[in-house]
Amino acid sequence: MRRALQLVAFILTLTSLWAAAQISSPQIKRDKKQPKENVEWLWQYGPPPADGRETQLVLDTRFRPFLTQYLTAPQTFWGSPKTGYKPLDETALDYLSVPDKVIADDNRFLSITGCVFRFTPARGLLWIDLGLPHPLIAFAAIDWIKDSRTPSEPGAEYTLWVFSNHPLDPDHIPPALTHSVARWTAQPPSGSTVIQQITRTILVDPDGTPHQIQPAAIGANTFTLPPSTEQKAQP
Protein backbone atom coordinates (compact mmCIF):
# COMPACT_ATOMS: atom_id res chain seq x y z
CA MET A 1 0.00 0.00 0.00
CA ARG A 2 2.84 2.33 0.89
CA ARG A 3 4.56 1.66 -2.45
CA ALA A 4 1.32 2.43 -4.30
CA LEU A 5 0.97 5.76 -2.52
CA GLN A 6 4.60 6.62 -3.36
CA LEU A 7 3.97 5.79 -7.04
CA VAL A 8 0.86 8.01 -7.13
CA ALA A 9 2.79 10.88 -5.52
CA PHE A 10 5.59 10.47 -8.09
CA ILE A 11 3.14 10.56 -11.00
CA LEU A 12 1.43 13.68 -9.59
CA THR A 13 4.81 15.39 -9.26
CA LEU A 14 5.70 14.68 -12.89
CA THR A 15 2.30 15.97 -14.00
CA SER A 16 2.81 19.21 -12.07
CA LEU A 17 6.26 19.72 -13.58
CA TRP A 18 4.95 19.10 -17.09
CA ALA A 19 2.10 21.60 -16.57
CA ALA A 20 4.51 24.22 -15.24
CA ALA A 21 6.74 23.75 -18.26
CA GLN A 22 3.77 24.28 -20.56
CA ILE A 23 2.78 27.47 -18.75
CA SER A 24 6.30 28.90 -18.71
CA SER A 25 7.24 28.01 -22.28
CA PRO A 26 5.72 31.17 -23.79
CA GLN A 27 7.91 33.23 -21.47
CA ILE A 28 10.94 31.30 -22.67
CA LYS A 29 10.04 32.21 -26.24
CA ARG A 30 9.59 35.88 -25.31
CA ASP A 31 13.01 35.94 -23.71
CA LYS A 32 14.70 34.91 -26.93
CA LYS A 33 16.68 37.56 -28.78
CA GLN A 34 14.36 39.74 -30.83
CA PRO A 35 14.93 39.88 -34.59
CA LYS A 36 16.33 43.01 -36.21
CA GLU A 37 13.70 45.74 -36.49
CA ASN A 38 12.49 46.36 -40.01
CA VAL A 39 13.41 49.97 -40.73
CA GLU A 40 15.12 49.30 -44.04
CA TRP A 41 12.23 50.97 -45.86
CA LEU A 42 13.73 54.32 -44.84
CA TRP A 43 16.75 53.64 -47.02
CA GLN A 44 14.81 54.15 -50.24
CA TYR A 45 14.68 57.86 -49.42
CA GLY A 46 18.39 58.26 -48.77
CA PRO A 47 20.76 57.22 -51.60
CA PRO A 48 20.85 59.38 -54.74
CA PRO A 49 18.82 60.38 -56.50
CA ALA A 50 16.93 61.55 -53.41
CA ASP A 51 16.21 65.12 -54.47
CA GLY A 52 12.56 65.92 -54.11
CA ARG A 53 11.72 62.81 -52.08
CA GLU A 54 11.85 64.50 -48.67
CA THR A 55 8.13 65.22 -48.78
CA GLN A 56 7.36 61.65 -49.81
CA LEU A 57 9.24 60.37 -46.75
CA VAL A 58 7.27 62.55 -44.32
CA LEU A 59 4.03 61.50 -45.99
CA ASP A 60 4.90 57.78 -46.00
CA THR A 61 2.27 55.98 -43.91
CA ARG A 62 5.06 54.19 -42.01
CA PHE A 63 6.79 57.40 -40.91
CA ARG A 64 4.47 58.45 -38.08
CA PRO A 65 4.34 54.96 -36.48
CA PHE A 66 8.14 54.89 -36.77
CA LEU A 67 8.39 58.13 -34.76
CA THR A 68 5.86 56.83 -32.22
CA GLN A 69 7.84 53.61 -31.71
CA TYR A 70 11.27 55.14 -31.23
CA LEU A 71 10.73 58.65 -29.84
CA THR A 72 9.16 58.09 -26.43
CA ALA A 73 11.08 60.33 -24.02
CA PRO A 74 9.17 63.17 -22.32
CA GLN A 75 10.00 66.70 -23.52
CA THR A 76 9.48 70.12 -21.94
CA PHE A 77 10.30 72.69 -24.63
CA TRP A 78 7.53 72.36 -27.23
CA GLY A 79 4.38 73.61 -25.54
CA SER A 80 3.91 75.19 -22.12
CA PRO A 81 3.20 74.15 -18.53
CA LYS A 82 -0.30 75.65 -18.83
CA THR A 83 -1.41 74.08 -22.11
CA GLY A 84 0.78 70.98 -21.81
CA TYR A 85 3.72 69.61 -23.77
CA LYS A 86 3.36 67.50 -26.88
CA PRO A 87 4.62 63.90 -26.98
CA LEU A 88 8.07 63.67 -28.49
CA ASP A 89 6.92 61.89 -31.65
CA GLU A 90 4.40 64.67 -32.40
CA THR A 91 7.06 67.28 -31.62
CA ALA A 92 9.43 65.65 -34.12
CA LEU A 93 6.68 65.58 -36.72
CA ASP A 94 6.12 69.32 -36.21
CA TYR A 95 9.84 70.04 -36.51
CA LEU A 96 10.02 68.07 -39.76
CA SER A 97 6.66 69.20 -41.16
CA VAL A 98 8.37 71.38 -43.78
CA PRO A 99 10.90 68.92 -45.27
CA ASP A 100 14.41 70.08 -46.10
CA LYS A 101 16.83 67.28 -47.01
CA VAL A 102 17.43 63.56 -46.69
CA ILE A 103 21.16 62.75 -46.70
CA ALA A 104 22.77 59.31 -46.65
CA ASP A 105 26.27 58.80 -45.24
CA ASP A 106 28.55 55.78 -45.58
CA ASN A 107 25.70 53.48 -46.70
CA ARG A 108 24.60 53.37 -43.07
CA PHE A 109 23.38 56.69 -41.67
CA LEU A 110 20.39 58.83 -42.63
CA SER A 111 19.94 62.50 -41.74
CA ILE A 112 16.44 63.89 -42.24
CA THR A 113 15.98 67.63 -41.73
CA GLY A 114 13.09 70.06 -41.78
CA CYS A 115 11.48 72.92 -39.89
CA VAL A 116 8.25 73.99 -38.24
CA PHE A 117 5.53 75.29 -40.53
CA ARG A 118 5.64 79.11 -40.70
CA PHE A 119 8.55 79.33 -38.25
CA THR A 120 11.73 78.30 -40.05
CA PRO A 121 14.13 79.02 -37.13
CA ALA A 122 12.62 76.02 -35.31
CA ARG A 123 14.48 73.26 -37.13
CA GLY A 124 14.64 69.51 -36.63
CA LEU A 125 17.11 66.75 -37.44
CA LEU A 126 16.24 63.06 -37.34
CA TRP A 127 19.39 60.91 -37.45
CA ILE A 128 19.25 57.14 -37.88
CA ASP A 129 21.97 54.50 -37.65
CA LEU A 130 20.67 51.67 -39.83
CA GLY A 131 23.75 49.52 -39.29
CA LEU A 132 22.72 48.18 -35.87
CA PRO A 133 20.43 45.24 -35.03
CA HIS A 134 18.48 47.71 -32.88
CA PRO A 135 18.77 51.01 -34.77
CA LEU A 136 19.97 54.09 -32.91
CA ILE A 137 17.59 56.99 -33.46
CA ALA A 138 18.36 60.57 -32.42
CA PHE A 139 16.10 63.58 -32.77
CA ALA A 140 17.59 67.07 -32.42
CA ALA A 141 15.57 70.29 -32.24
CA ILE A 142 16.79 73.89 -32.39
CA ASP A 143 14.68 75.97 -30.00
CA TRP A 144 14.87 79.78 -29.92
CA ILE A 145 15.67 81.28 -26.51
CA LYS A 146 12.92 83.87 -26.38
CA ASP A 147 14.68 86.35 -24.06
CA SER A 148 17.53 86.72 -26.57
CA ARG A 149 17.44 88.71 -29.81
CA THR A 150 14.84 87.95 -32.46
CA PRO A 151 15.68 85.14 -34.90
CA SER A 152 16.16 87.63 -37.75
CA GLU A 153 19.02 89.33 -35.87
CA PRO A 154 22.62 88.18 -35.48
CA GLY A 155 23.23 87.25 -31.87
CA ALA A 156 19.96 85.40 -31.34
CA GLU A 157 20.55 82.38 -29.10
CA TYR A 158 19.21 78.87 -29.33
CA THR A 159 19.01 75.68 -27.29
CA LEU A 160 19.71 72.38 -29.00
CA TRP A 161 17.65 69.55 -27.54
CA VAL A 162 18.83 66.02 -28.41
CA PHE A 163 16.77 62.89 -27.67
CA SER A 164 17.67 59.27 -28.44
CA ASN A 165 16.03 55.88 -28.14
CA HIS A 166 19.17 54.48 -26.45
CA PRO A 167 21.17 56.33 -23.78
CA LEU A 168 24.12 58.28 -25.21
CA ASP A 169 27.31 58.72 -23.24
CA PRO A 170 28.06 62.48 -23.37
CA ASP A 171 31.77 61.64 -23.56
CA HIS A 172 31.36 59.12 -26.39
CA ILE A 173 28.76 60.47 -28.80
CA PRO A 174 28.90 58.62 -32.16
CA PRO A 175 31.17 60.57 -34.55
CA ALA A 176 28.66 60.10 -37.37
CA LEU A 177 26.03 61.89 -35.28
CA THR A 178 28.34 64.80 -34.39
CA HIS A 179 29.28 65.12 -38.05
CA SER A 180 25.62 65.25 -39.06
CA VAL A 181 24.86 67.90 -36.41
CA ALA A 182 27.92 69.92 -37.46
CA ARG A 183 26.86 69.91 -41.11
CA TRP A 184 23.27 70.77 -40.21
CA THR A 185 24.05 73.65 -37.84
CA ALA A 186 26.51 75.13 -40.35
CA GLN A 187 23.54 75.95 -42.59
CA PRO A 188 21.20 78.88 -41.85
CA PRO A 189 17.43 78.44 -41.75
CA SER A 190 15.54 78.67 -45.01
CA GLY A 191 15.26 82.27 -46.19
CA SER A 192 18.05 83.51 -43.91
CA THR A 193 21.80 84.03 -44.14
CA VAL A 194 22.33 84.05 -40.35
CA ILE A 195 23.89 80.96 -38.78
CA GLN A 196 22.02 80.06 -35.61
CA GLN A 197 24.17 80.37 -32.49
CA ILE A 198 23.53 77.42 -30.20
CA THR A 199 24.58 78.44 -26.70
CA ARG A 200 23.08 75.55 -24.75
CA THR A 201 22.69 71.85 -25.49
CA ILE A 202 20.56 69.41 -23.51
CA LEU A 203 21.05 65.67 -24.09
CA VAL A 204 17.97 63.76 -22.90
CA ASP A 205 17.96 60.07 -21.99
CA PRO A 206 15.07 57.81 -23.09
CA ASP A 207 13.61 58.08 -19.56
CA GLY A 208 13.65 61.88 -19.73
CA THR A 209 16.80 62.53 -17.67
CA PRO A 210 18.49 65.69 -19.04
CA HIS A 211 22.25 66.27 -19.27
CA GLN A 212 23.62 69.68 -20.17
CA ILE A 213 26.66 69.35 -22.41
CA GLN A 214 28.84 71.71 -24.38
CA PRO A 215 27.32 72.38 -27.83
CA ALA A 216 30.59 71.46 -29.53
CA ALA A 217 30.51 68.03 -27.84
CA ILE A 218 27.79 67.00 -30.28
CA GLY A 219 29.07 69.07 -33.20
CA ALA A 220 26.84 72.14 -32.85
CA ASN A 221 28.30 75.25 -34.50
CA THR A 222 31.36 73.35 -35.60
CA PHE A 223 31.99 72.15 -39.09
CA THR A 224 34.16 69.23 -40.16
CA LEU A 225 34.79 68.17 -43.70
CA PRO A 226 33.54 64.72 -44.70
CA PRO A 227 36.21 62.05 -44.06
CA SER A 228 36.74 61.48 -47.80
CA THR A 229 37.42 65.21 -48.33
CA GLU A 230 39.75 65.35 -45.36
CA GLN A 231 41.78 62.46 -46.75
CA LYS A 232 42.07 64.13 -50.15
CA ALA A 233 43.20 67.38 -48.50
CA GLN A 234 46.14 65.69 -46.79
CA PRO A 235 49.52 66.06 -48.60
**pLDDT averaged over 10-residue windows placed end to end, the chain, 235 residues:** 43 40 36 61 75 81 96 94 92 96 92 95 97 94 93 92 96 96 96 94 97 97 60 39
Q: How far apart are CA 97 and CA 184, in angstroms?
A: 17
| 51 & 135 share domain | yes
Enclosing domain of residue 19: 1-32
| 105 & 214 share domain | yes
pLDDT score recorded for residue 61: 95
| 18 & 50 share domain | no
Q: Which residues contact 210 (CB under 8 A, 6 or more apart)?
A: 202, 203, 204
| 93 & 53 share domain | yes
| 169 & 83 share domain | yes
DSSP 174-230: -HHHHHHHHHHHTSPPTT--PPPEEEEEEEE-TTS-EEEE-GGGGTTT-----HHHH
| 55 & 22 share domain | no
Helices 88-95 and 63-70, packing angle to 10 deg: 130
| 7 & 121 share domain | no
Q: How far apart are CA 11 and CA 188, in angstroms?
A: 77
| 129 & 198 share domain | yes
| 50 & 8 share domain | no
| 155 & 227 share domain | yes
| 74 & 184 share domain | yes
pLDDT score recorded for residue 54: 83
Q: How far is CA 151 from the centre of its chain?
A: 26
User: Looking at the 3D structure of the chain, how many domains does it have?
Assistant: 2
| 7 & 109 share domain | no
